[in-house]
Homo-oligomer: A and B are copies of this chain.
Amino acid sequence: MSLQTLKQQALANPQVREEYNKLENEFSLIDQLLSMRSTAGLTQAQVAEKMGTQKSNISRLEKGSSNPSWKTLLNYAQACGFQLAIKATKVS
């Protein structure tokens, strides 16, 4: 059995799929944060300053070890010169 089919079977389980989807979303969230800041050409310290906080907090945010609030996401995006919206897509 290949890894692919193993993954398929695992994802056939609705419970597993839910967790998987959540993980995917978390990954993409962090990716988006990083990509916003890098295309803005800003350092963590610069973003922190614009947000009125500390660079260590930005690092914590970007390392994915936390669970940011919506307002924090908005502020971060704004500091990087972006506007934010959520995209909801029907699943299953």
The answer to whether the Cβ of A28 comes within 8 Å of any Cβ in the partner chain is yes
Q: CA A82 – CA B89 in complex, angstroms? A: 5
Stretch at the interface among A1-9, A52-60, A68-76: A68-76
Q: Which residues of B contact A38 (CB under 8 A)?
A: none
Interchain CB contact (< 8 A) of A83 among B25, B74, B81: B25
The answer to whether the Cβ of A88 comes within 8 Å of any Cβ in the partner chain is yes
Q: CA A32 – CA B88 in complex, angstroms? A: 8
Q: Is the CB of A89 within 8 A of B78?
A: no
Q: Is the CB of A90 within 8 A of B82?
A: yes
Q: Which residues of B contact A92 (CB under 8 A)?
A: 81
Also in contact, A83 and B88, with CB within 8 A (given A22-B78, A78-B18, A78-B22): yes
Residues in A lying within 8 Å of B, measured CB to CB: 18, 21-22, 24-26, 28-29, 32, 35-36, 39, 67-71, 73-75, 77-78, 81-92
